[in-house]
Structure 1
């Protein structure tokens, strides 16, 4: 099912602005995970996720009010938004839990099989035409992910597969978002996603209270932990805002390859904060994932097909 965009062609200045905004978004995005890794040492991943949704919704609220986006809320689609909120909650909790045991750059690199999953799921469920070349690129990308997962699996066990779970959730989230993006305001969609995500997290934390679970037993953050949890939400809100306006200014096919630079910026931040740096095998895996993803995007652009992940709502790494 291919949809034709009605957005007017972007001017050169718009494209330049879109590129600048996307670069800023990619530079800020790894800070979500840096703050999450700092917080996870004392705060459960479910509580960090709830904090993200709370702060993100709080940051979005003035924009939603100013734009009068409440008027565009589709209450008939509440179940659809609830499912999106549940999926993004599972994705976030999975990824934050991973950060307790794995290096940030490794987790993000594995997560970037998400565009590959979007391509495959788009072909299965949306009947997108996908040739053997893109399917081959998907297989190559998964091989690159295995180069990173295999040594990590030996170190931390099945935890190394959680970024794959997170990526699968985001891929499903992207496909569901596309179904709504052409008829709902992107700001209201993000705001509703945050509210539903917060509600699901609150329920999980209520059920987990007193269980001693590292995931869902809430604690009272102390000292810098408040700042770290707030930082996760603030960086997510900033990334979302930058991404929305980047995609409004320039075509997604132009901007999408820049998302892979997040692996580089994440590696730099992780090295500066935690002293983590991927070894040669992991760098090879990262290079393979990036190359396969960029090739898929290039094929989509060459055949003038709208990428499955081209929505007006930004969907970057959790």
Structure 2
């Protein structure tokens, strides 16, 4: 199928995605602080799967058409990667908080930009490679690996970033032959099956008030991932990635305002370097275009 490259629309979708994901992360941090992470992600995926199945039934061809794909292995891998990444990242929220977790996770657009050439065949110029290198210096400043007090827990969101980058690239790759509806269907159903097999063993009673927050989490989960899938379908991954850094801004604001978190000097410096590297790359590429 023909794939468009509508950059303005892709940018708008990415900004909307980051805002929804930031709200979702705040809700996840609250709920995972009270209940088991696997249970929280499992319930979220139940709603997600029910939603994608309901949408599929309303479309021409029904579930059979939505599930039809010539690349089932890619779609299954995407679904598994995303649900596992969510578990890892939510665990990081409870261990490190929103600010520090996102400070490390914010390197994932650099990983996408670096891999968009060899994986997707998109052009990656020397300016982009230089910015990627500078951005990873920012990551090292945040992690401070040379210090005796290096916190190995910081590797948790770094693992999540790598998993999410690969998920994003596979989403773009799958979009070349499958529609948004098909990718959306496989994302929800594969994740629900995988998380049920894990999370059902960790069920805990939930108080009524937290079921309200759980409902909000489910809604943000559905809308956020649909926006992301749509974003990668309409625009090149490397073009829209710089705007993914806004999730750091939104999430840090929630972490500070709602959870009373703070920002250390090395984290702030590292984040500025990473974001500046990504924005410089985007600006230069647009100038050349």
TM-score band w.r.t. shorter chain: 0.7 to 0.9
Provide, for residues 152-172 of structure 1, a one-character-per-residue CA deviation record: whole Å limited to 9, x for no partner: x98893221111111111121
Q: Partner of 1:41 in structure 2?
A: 33
2: distance between equivalents of 1:123 and 1:24? 26
1:35-184 equivalence runs, <5 A? 35-68=27-60, 70=63, 71-126=65-120, 128-150=122-144, 157-184=151-178
Q: 1:21 to 1:168 in 2, by over 3 A?
A: closer
1:50 positional shift: 1.5
Taking structure 1 as the reference length, what is the TM-score of the superposition? 0.77
Q: 1:67 to 1:294 in 2, by over 3 A?
A: farther
Aligned mate of 1:263, from 241, 248, 262: 248
Aligned mate of 2:214, from 229, 238, 254: 229
- Which consecutive residues of structure 1, in runs of 5 or more, have no partner in the other structure? 210-216, 305-318
- For 2:144, what is the secondary structure of its paired residue? helix
1:103 positional shift: 2.0
Aligned mate of 1:7, from 4, 8, 12: 4
Provide, for residues 102-143 of structure 1, a one-character-per-residue CA deviation record: whole Å limited to 9, x for no partner: 121221221121111122233444455534432222122112
2: distance between equivalents of 1:248 and 1:82? 18
Of stretches 127-136 and 47-56 in structure 1, the one that deviates more from structure 2 is 127-136
Q: Does 1:189 find its partner at 2:174?
A: no
Provide, for residues 234-276 of structure 1, a one-character-per-residue CA deviation record: whole Å limited to 9, x for no partner: 1122223445666778887775433222211212211221011
Q: 1:54 to 1:155 in 2, by over 3 A?
A: farther
1:301 positional shift: 4.0
Of stretches 77-86 and 240-249 in structure 1, the one that deviates more from structure 2 is 240-249
Of stretches 265-274 and 56-65 in structure 1, the one that deviates more from structure 2 is 56-65
Taking structure 2 as the reference length, what is the TM-score of the superposition? 0.84
- Which consecutive residues of structure 2, in runs of 5 or more, have no partner in the other structure? none
The alignment covers a number of residue pairs equal to 286
Q: Identify the structure with the greater helix proportion.
A: 2
Provide, for residues 262-316 of structure 1, a one-character-per-residue CA deviation record: whole Å limited to 9, x for no partner: 2112122112210113133211111111111223334444555xxxxxxxxxxxx
CA contact under 8 A between 1:72 and 1:184: conserved in structure 2?
A: no
Q: Partner of 2:269 in structure 1?
A: 284
Q: 1:35 to 1:254 in 2, by over 3 A?
A: same
Q: 1:120 to 1:194 in 2, by over 3 A?
A: same
2: distance between equivalents of 1:98 and 1:233? 19
